[in-house]
Structure 1
């Protein structure tokens, strides 16, 4: 049982009181939360009638982030969790899917507007994206193979700005943090153009954890005909961050700010200048063509190049990645008197080609060569999906995809060997149904199959060996959900899911800290997710003007099934790295018609840090607060803000190294820290 402090008890009491106040007030006329529209990758629908398990990260939630990460806004949604092992090193889990992610994003598909941020193997360099570029996020939980491809975790749709804006952002804070960005978006004749630039740096809380990121984003949406639009996009990112490494519990208690120390046989993180240097360019073209009022066609082509360096404690790795992707689909819509239908038929595929070079690491400088390898991954899926709307009461979303994954590998130095592997093609169905019981009240059900092949970094991980016996993980997901609008004041949602996964991919570490991956048998993942959100309520008071609140929570029971490791039988153990309970909240206040206050909390329960469940993390409650104040001039608006992160100065860990060799599980997060800045809108 988590012991709550007197401040927390007071906070919860305030929430209860505020809720009762809201229900005693008259309705306002703002748009109902249940009527929010989601894009669902060009299958728009209202939130209340969607068959999918989806969370929407609005601009209000995005305001919670510090300049370097999207962590606070993503973690305010039940079922999605962003972790920070060290600044710049992030991973995202959807319903526990970080089980196989030592860093980065795997088993979660990520799109940026119409374009595909994930490579063909399923790996995503999420940390190259500046949070200030993102205007909205849609998070789809569970398998969505009929539309988004073969993953068992979920899908993120990142949306950039779609309205005119000219602004500049400047902020500074603790640990030498500095952030600057410029955003220009404007309609120029038939072109909607966006130019975004960002520079960010920080020394960070721990030794060997400094970060620098430079980014430029260019977008042009050209309406070259009344029924056709061409979109072009270029993203250039230069990211460099140091990696301090994991600590034992005793080391963390002794000095939370230290980097991983050396031993008699292995040097430490600072000595080896451990870190990541990632230069990436992504560009693409997408064309929307409304052939007739009922028939349309979409086509996307894109390519990217990645220059990736990783001076690690035991080696210096260079990766040179070339990526190509294509997506195309036909859409047909038909409306009758009380029935409307939409049919989509399409294909998405990609190629990921990597040349990997490993050298000795001489204190951050390449030494003698160790291994040179080539790895090329191929993935693709054909899909058909159908949406039906019966009399604005019954909504169905049925899809089927045929998914294919394969790879070719070659050892170049010091040995010479090659081969290829093709995984069994998977036919993945998804069926969703929503029934609108009354205005603002719906019930939904969904069943679908997901499949997730090993990524390039799991097939050829940091132990420099090809793990050729890895196979895709797969499973069936079943869920039910309720969405209810109470008057025009409160929106509530509850979901229950049951996901059975086979051949789950999990991470291991050897004695040198190098990782490798194995299939772990079966998992049983069951859980409840809830959301409670109020309207922005006008209190009609000159002092205390507006108030709204938001609660979300996930309550999970994730277990290993039929899982043996050598002579150890871990069947029935809790799934590694997944907390049973997370509860998040956000209070928004407005005073004097000017001063906005965002007061947020994140509670995470204990979680097992190894498969044997012999080491558990501590539970924690983290509070953040932000003050925003606008200053108006004739043609300019200054938005001043101050953020206090980790308000209660809690000692906690924001990202663990699960199953770490030598019990080096811990990556301590910063204690109380500050950020202040200004956003200028012209």
Structure 2
């Protein structure tokens, strides 16, 4: 792969003199939204990566894994189809599945609940038109999280399209999208249906989704946004295998033992229905002053037939956000000041039964949990002479919960975590056009989620406390002419009271605070423009190369009489290198050739079991077809091009060494996207 990249560097250089200015935006001129705090990428003080529509096209219909994994410092894992984890700088230490310790927003709206859990797998990749990934704590703008923040954005321009695809293992996907400006309204209607039998036994997936939004510009000063998202996800969970079981039959689900039934026998899976609706309002009071307010609510119906029980969860969520902004520009000075609040309440009713082959049996435990959280924040941006850019923010965060045992015993109580002040300071200096250096320091805090306070062992854990830590980083961004963009950064994050996952002999999980972590790393990105090679056969070329190089270790971590201090942090590879090469032939045929290298991974805290390193290749062929006013993109995607045997998501610290969830061998997806 290195030789191939070097070869194309030479090719690019030979055509440099004839390179014409691309009509597309320069990389250094990309604007980030930062939740209504726009800034150019080159001058931003944030540790942020932008996932463009071009990168999102690398995804297969069920997930956003391919595009997220092209970002240095971000990693998405798939334990089984439909069951995902997202890690930003190793933040999945405590996540057996799902997204925790990362805030997620969809346009103006908040996908994460008040406890910090996000049902990310309910979102169709095709709904998302752009993504911003913020790495590390951003407490002054987004509140309590030590991992990072994801801002997902839907379409903001007119579009009429339909998509149909099919592929290996019974995969079928259909969607349509209509986005249109009609007078003062910009509306979008999106619908998606997806299903697959998947590679392993007991791993079928079915997802249905409808998304509606309306942006109403009712005056020159005011805009009202409305949104409704409905999603219905049903996926089977095959369970983890031991190494011997994986070598014996990669496609089997977790088999039965002498004491416990298997995943297929118990019809193990997740059935998750959610509806989310909200309103947001932006009003410009004067040329300098503006006000924003958001109100939203959601309902979740969650079922989880598991090996040892059948769990029902009914969740009600309510959230709000408001801020007052002042902006003023003078000759050599620009000021932006913001004062606001974001809060939420999550009420969850949990019912556990015996699992009778996928149906409810005798009652085990009924509990209720209500989590309330929020943060007051103030931020100030001051730019001096278009050279020095500063961003100072501070938030006061609170988190508390009330718990009730309803059956078979009746008890109740409440826990209030200590309020946390979270400061963030960022500085960027523009050395020259397209060349900046930045420095940042900030504190992060992350409280236990509902699923950690009351985990699958059906016990409340009142001893859990939030994890917290300070993050420091420096970075440089450089645009080389109109051809290449390079970014390199170093960070040092020290976390205390790290929340780690454990499993009992039944495979039920529980969590505890254990010491801390020392997390140091370097992240790099090299990206080229789309280079016009002035050649009919080999028309265009583009390169993207990213890498993460980490040294993550436990600190003051003892388990009984065993000291794990100095061990590598579980589940985090020390090195990941990802590349995407785009070729265009005959000004028509587009070829995206991507690679994902992951170094070996420690699978338990003792570092006694490691996963081997992997190199996975994907390729996508796209060919545009135009029929009168209709544009079509006919494509073929080949996943796992080299037919490797690998695991895309491990069950770390699994009891009985059931770490392994084998990923699919080589697979194919063919489809057509039609723009009307």
Establish whether TM, by shorter chain, passes 0.5: yes
Q: Distance in 2 between matches of 1:137 and 1:14?
A: 31
Q: Distance in 2 between matches of 1:665 and 1:272?
A: 20
- Conserved in 2, the CA contact under 8 Å of 1:407 and 1:421? yes
- Conserved in 1, the CA contact under 8 Å of 2:195 and 2:206? yes
Q: TM-score, normalised by structure 1?
A: 0.98
Q: CA deviation at 1:24?
A: 5.6
Gaps of 5+ in 2: none
Matched ranges for 1:621-660 at <5 A: 621-660=615-654
Q: Please name the residue that 1:436 is paired with.
A: 430
Q: Please name the residue that 1:351 is paired with.
A: 345
SS at match of 1:60: helix
Q: Distance in 1 between matches of 2:374 and 2:460?
A: 22
Q: Please name the residue that 2:76 is paired with.
A: 82
Over residues 293-324 of structure 1, what are the superposed CA-to-partner deviations in whole Å (9 max), with x where a residue is unaligned? 10000000000000000000000000000000
Matched ranges for 1:188-587 at <5 A: 188-587=182-581
Q: Distance in 2 between matches of 1:325 and 1:253?
A: 47
Q: CA deviation at 1:130?
A: 0.2
Q: Please name the residue that 2:64 is paired with.
A: 70
Q: CA deviation at 1:26?
A: 3.7
Q: Distance in 2 between matches of 1:78 and 1:22?
A: 28
Over residues 242-268 of structure 1, what are the superposed CA-to-partner deviations in whole Å (9 max), with x where a residue is unaligned? 000000011101110000001001000
Aligned CA distance change for structure 1 residues 567 and 22 (closer, same or farther; 3 Å): farther
- Conserved in 2, the CA contact under 8 Å of 1:27 and 1:487? no
Aligned CA distance change for structure 1 residues 466 and 433 (closer, same or farther; 3 Å): same
Over residues 16-45 of structure 1, what are the superposed CA-to-partner deviations in whole Å (9 max), with x where a residue is unaligned? 434544656545244321111000100000
- Conserved in 2, the CA contact under 8 Å of 1:28 and 1:537? no
Q: CA deviation at 1:11?
A: 3.2
Q: Please name the residue that 2:132 is paired with.
A: 138
Q: Distance in 2 between matches of 1:43 and 1:556?
A: 30
Q: CA deviation at 1:288?
A: 0.4
Considering only aligned residues, what root-mean-square deviation do their CA atoms show, in Å? 0.9
Gaps of 5+ in 1: 1-7
Q: Please name the residue that 2:163 is paired with.
A: 169
Q: Distance in 2 between matches of 1:624 and 1:648?
A: 8
Q: Distance in 1 between matches of 2:665 and 2:377?
A: 48
Q: Distance in 2 between matches of 1:249 and 1:20?
A: 47
Q: CA deviation at 1:633?
A: 1.3
Over residues 561-591 of structure 1, what are the superposed CA-to-partner deviations in whole Å (9 max), with x where a residue is unaligned? 0000011100000000000000000001111
Q: Please name the residue that 2:100 is paired with.
A: 106
SS at match of 1:276: strand
Matched ranges for 1:179-190 at <5 A: 179-190=173-184
SS at match of 2:92: helix
Q: Distance in 1 between matches of 2:278 and 2:85?
A: 25
- Conserved in 1, the CA contact under 8 Å of 2:56 and 2:67? yes
Q: Please name the residue that 2:672 is paired with.
A: 678
Q: Please name the residue that 2:141 is paired with.
A: 147
Over residues 501-536 of structure 1, what are the superposed CA-to-partner deviations in whole Å (9 max), with x where a residue is unaligned? 000111111000000011111100000000000000
Q: CA deviation at 1:638?
A: 1.4
Q: CA deviation at 1:656?
A: 0.2
Q: CA deviation at 1:289?
A: 0.3
Q: CA deviation at 1:607?
A: 1.1
One of 118, 124, 127 as aligned partner of 2:118: 124
| Count of residues in Structure 1 that have an aligned counterpart in Structure 2 | 675
Over residues 71-114 of structure 1, what are the superposed CA-to-partner deviations in whole Å (9 max), with x where a residue is unaligned? 00000000000000000000101000011111110000000000
Q: Distance in 2 between matches of 1:565 and 1:329?
A: 45
Q: CA deviation at 1:14?
A: 3.3
Q: Distance in 2 between matches of 1:215 and 1:485?
A: 40
Q: Distance in 1 between matches of 2:5 and 2:616?
A: 14
- Conserved in 2, the CA contact under 8 Å of 1:27 and 1:489? no
Q: CA deviation at 1:13?
A: 4.4
SS at match of 1:447: strand
